[in-house]
Structure 1
Amino acid sequence: MLNDVNWGALVAQSLRRPAQAAQVVLSWDLPRDALWTAMALVTLCNAVLMYVTNIVTPPLPPELAAQAIPFPAWMFSPLTAFVFLAGSLVVTVHVLHWLSSMLGGPGGLNEMLALLTWLQALRAVAQFVLLFLLIAVPGLAGLFALAVAVMSLWLLVVFVNEASGLQSKFKAVGVLLTAAVGIIVGLSFLITLTGFAAIGV
């Protein structure tokens, strides 16, 4: 089934008509283990691209390490980026599913997992384009990054609405805001427990 997918057309559809693209992704009805595997692979791609982007753009890791509050070198490794991204995505998928279910959304965990994985795949494509612009046309990189940030927020709202079945973008925004507050509070507590606060993180 996936062999017949026109990936370029699906990417374009995701940007122009994200709700329809979301329904295409959901129609694949992939098993959960395949979805988790896909999310891991997409997260790995994002982590590597983030690492390469950090290498070619200032401030470089050695410069950060030399600051008044030094950051340990391991914080800039691809493995750290992967663990952070993967952990954040796993928590985000479950929190968004739980909150949307509390509001009566009939969508399941698989639907939320599938669409957030597709969103991360789109972000990987955008990160690759951004990396190219940083090297070839640095002046356009900032504008492109801003456009990606805005588009990512819109796609997130649409995808959460489609995955949850809430049929209300306002409810989807409410779910996202509530999830963001909860995740930020949870991360702050975790940072305090792990001692990162002591080094200024």
Structure 2
Amino acid sequence: MTISFQTWMQTVWISVTQPAEMAGKVLSMQFSRDVLWTALALVAVLNVLLLGVLQLISPMSADAPEQVITVSPFGYLAIIGAFLTFMIFMLVHAGRMMGGDGTIEGTLTLLVWFQAVSLTLEAMQVLLVLLSPAIAALFGLMSLGAIIWVFVNLVNVLHSFANLGKAIVVIFMALIGTVLGTGLVMGMLGITPPGAF
């Protein structure tokens, strides 16, 4: 199956405007766990590449270099990989604590899809930075709202909840566990925020 740029952008638009319906379609696709973990590794690498490009072209990186955490590409990849991995297991366990029925495979599938949509919006922001940093910043705020909306709906569908409230609680619980786990990984790698002792 060949996906054109126009088709992909239409799919991303539907994912943002109708996230619950798209989540159901994505979950209906049956992928092996190996394929899903490989896809997750790929989106982690793409995250690092886009982050590097954004830092290079952003005027803020030149104005306040002391505020930027200097990490090697491998370090960024380790952090993003750890974050995504912890998030998968935290979403599953937190969801089940709230009465959900999400699985590892389902969570992997939806998280990879969410990352693909998020990376598309991030790539658009990178292009906008070249045209106008102000417009790019505004687009970034709009994108943030959009991806939060998408993520809440994906988690809601994943665990078959009857309302978005439970999904929000699950995300909050999962984020706490994920941040703590990722913090441990950062500590093991010796990565600390600027000004930390």
Using structure 2 for the length normalisation, give the TM-score: 0.86
Residue 25, structure 1, aligned to residue 65, structure 2: no
User: CA 1:106–1:198 in 2, change beyond 3 Å: closer, same or farther?
Assistant: closer
Cα deviation for residue 4 of structure 1 reads: 6.3
Residues 103-153 of structure 1: per-residue CA shift (max 9 Å, x gap): 221221111111111110011111110110000122210110001111111
Query: Once the two structures are superposed, what CA deviation does each residue of 1:39-64 show, in whole Å capped at 9, x if it has no partner?
Result: 11122112101101101113437963
Checking the alignment, whether the CA contact within 8 Å between 2:68 and 2:194 is kept in structure 1 is yes
The aligned counterpart of 1:48 is 49
Give the aligned partner of residue 143 of structure 2: 148
RMSD: 2.5
The correspondence for 1:114, drawn from 106, 109, 112, is 109
After superposition, the Cα gap between the structure-2 partners of 1:70 and 1:144, relative to the gap in structure 1 and judged at 3 Å, is: closer
Aligned length: 193
Q: What displacement does 1:7 show?
A: 3.0
Letter matched to residue 26 of structure 2: V
* 1:113 maps to amino acid: L
TM-score of the two chains, using structure 1 as the length reference: 0.84
Aligned counterpart, 1:89? 84
Amino acid at match of 1:23: G
1:182 paired with 2:177, answer: yes
**Are the equivalent residues in 2 in contact too, given 1:157–1:173 (CA < 8 A)?**
yes
Unaligned runs of 5+ in 2: none
Percent identity over the alignment is: 28
Q: What runs of 5+ residues in structure 1 fail to find an aligned partner?
A: none
Distance verdict in 2 for CA 1:158–1:70, change over 3 Å: closer
- The reply on whether 1:103 has 2:114 as its aligned counterpart is no
1:171 has 2:166 as partner: yes
